[in-house]
A = this chain, B = another copy of it.
Amino acid sequence: MIAYSQYNPVRLADVPYWDFETDVAIIGFGATGASAAIEARQAGARTILFERSSGSGGASALSGGEIYIGGGTDAQKAAGFDDNVADFTAYLKLAQGPCVDDAKCELYGREALNHYQWLKNQGVPYRGNYLPGKVIEPIDDSTLIWSGSETAAPFYTKAKPAPRGHVIQHMGWGGGRPLVDILEARARDLGTQIELDARAVALIVDGKSIAGAVVRIDNTYKFVRAHKGVVLATGGFVFNEAMRRKYCPDSFRVKNPIGDKDDGIGIELGVSVGGDAIHMDQFFTTCPWTIPADQAHGVFVNVAGQRFINEDCYHGRVSRCAIDQPGGKVYLLLDSANFSQPFDLAGITIAGTGETWEEVEAELEMPAGTLSATMAVYNEHALEGRDPLFDKQPPILKPLDQSPFVALELNFETSFFSIFTLGGLKTSVDAEVLDRSGAPIPGLYAAGRCTSGLPAWGHGYSSGLSLADCTFFGRQAGRNVAMT
């Protein structure tokens, strides 16, 4: 028996027979694959969805079900936010930083309102209300939250802020599972054939075109003919240590991969036929330091007692910048007006306390005049409502002057810094997988975290960008492969 373990493509002429024949084969059944299936079926293409696990979900189902949508939604308007395509698009570009894909930002910027309507049309419920404050996910069933760095420097100076995190109506955390359930039901209703416990191991090539895939089911290789093409929707590679070592070694600074055993197979399959994997060094991380909410008023310092970020940024941006700091840990400084017991899950500990910042400094064994000078400068200006160093904004900007004071420790080894990868296949706005010259590989599409998409840059991540990317470009993949 042939071993397909290295993801080497199989030539069409070498395929002995077909176990499945279809127009479209989709690999992976998270939000990306489900969205692709819905569109492919609506375009009339026979569609089979192959999923490695015993059910749908992937990393999407482990998420909060939040989708980054702007440009003037009903929920934004009802809450009095006058968002528009230009500011929304500008923010998307800023959030991609040096990894920016202008065309993807512009397309999604223009189409997000239609995409929101599409989500509703599939049956995704939105309560429609706005939940103010700095929350990671709603603990009730609210729709609209601030989920990025919109109001923080430098973003607010270049794009008018608006909240854009749109969360499925679902009580509490974990809206990703019901979101995928709804998309799955829709895909099934539309006649998608679904094959579970089916692991893709190779693509089948006809010259330069993709003609199908080899999948393993019950320890047997099965040959799938996909007359129109294949959609890769397999997620990132955070659980593949060998890939991380080669392409994203800085991600080992933190310890908590999240996802559904994301092993990078879609990236490997795409590259095996000439696809281009880009920005493979980029990753998301966050430690939930804004829980309880008062902690959001804290000031971060590194082991040298220096601030390094305007702490009103998105918690993930702050966390990503935190792990750039030397010394393996950072401190979150709080006063008694803003302290309560840290969130258990976060693994955040109390490293020092004091009646003055000088006492905290001494307890942390920092040289005199370091942390205390930092806090003197911070408090002096915070009282005036400004932060000349990092441009942190009110109301998050508050002096920390109510003793006693405390320094919480976020330790890169022992605190809960979740992580997932952002690099992947380079795709067009039509979700075509591109080769290294920029040309589409005929018959091969991809979306979600096996691609470099809307959340391309770890330092610019905002909640909801990944599911926006998965669902919107998943749809692009499904529609475009069906129209091949």
Q: Quick check: A426 and B370 within 8 Å, CB to CB?
A: no
- Cα(A37)–Cα(B82), bound, Å: 67
Q: How many copies does the complex hold?
A: 2
Q: Per-residue CB proximity of A190-233 to B under 8 Å, as 1/0?
A: 00000000000000000000000000000000000000000000
Assess whether A139 is interfacial by the CB under 8 Å rule: no
Decide: A276 near B436, CB < 8 A? Known: A367-B388, A373-B369, A389-B367. no
- Select one of B6, B304, B388 contacting A389, CB under 8 A: B304
Closest B residue to A381 by beta carbon equals: B367
- Cα(A381)–Cα(B368), bound, Å: 11
Using Cβ atoms and an 8 Å threshold, which residues of chain B touch A373?
369-370, 373, 377
Assess whether A355 is interfacial by the CB under 8 Å rule: no
Interface class of chain A by DSSP: loop
Using Cβ atoms and an 8 Å threshold, which residues of chain B touch A306?
304, 306
Assess whether A250 is interfacial by the CB under 8 Å rule: yes
- Cα(A7)–Cα(B438), bound, Å: 13
Q: Quick check: B390 and A304 within 8 Å, CB to CB?
A: yes
- Select one of B5, B98, B324, B426 contacting A324, CB under 8 A: B324
Assess whether A364 is interfacial by the CB under 8 Å rule: no
Of the 9-residue stretches A48-56, A161-169, A277-285, A402-410, which lies at the interface with chain B? A277-285
- Select one of B98, B250, B436 contacting A268, CB under 8 A: B436
Using Cβ atoms and an 8 Å threshold, which residues of chain B touch A381?
367
Closest B residue to A268 by beta carbon equals: B436
Closest B residue to A282 by beta carbon equals: B281
Q: Quick check: B99 and A249 within 8 Å, CB to CB?
A: yes
Using Cβ atoms and an 8 Å threshold, which residues of chain B touch A99?
249
Using Cβ atoms and an 8 Å threshold, which residues of chain B touch A250?
98
Closest B residue to A390 by beta carbon equals: B304
Residues of A253-291 contacting chain B, CB below 8 A: 268, 271-272, 276, 278-281
Using Cβ atoms and an 8 Å threshold, which residues of chain B touch A426?
246
- Cα(A279)–Cα(B245), bound, Å: 9
- Cα(A372)–Cα(B439), bound, Å: 55
Assess whether A307 is interfacial by the CB under 8 Å rule: yes
Q: Quick check: B307 and A304 within 8 Å, CB to CB?
A: yes
What are the 9 closest A-B residue pairs judged by CB atoms, nearest first?
A98-B249, A373-B373, A281-B281, A6-B437, A246-B278, A306-B306, A304-B389, A369-B377, A367-B388
Besides the known contacts A6-B436, A247-B280, 12 further A-B residue pairs in the complex with CB atoms under 8 A apart: A5-B437, A6-B435, A6-B437, A6-B439, A246-B276, A246-B278, A272-B436, A280-B280, A306-B306, A324-B324, A369-B376, A369-B377
> Please, could you name 25 A-B residue pairs with CB atoms under 8 Å apart, sorted by A?
A5-B437, A6-B436, A6-B437, A6-B439, A7-B437, A97-B249, A98-B249, A98-B252, A99-B249, A246-B276, A246-B278, A246-B279, A246-B426, A268-B436, A271-B436, A280-B281, A304-B307, A304-B389, A304-B390, A324-B324, A369-B376, A369-B380, A370-B373, A373-B373, A373-B377
Please give the residue numbers on chain A whose beta carbons come within 8 Å of chain B beta carbons, in ascending order: 5-7, 97-99, 246-247, 249-250, 252, 268, 271-272, 276, 278-281, 304, 306-307, 324, 367-370, 373, 376-377, 380-381, 388-390, 426, 435-437, 439
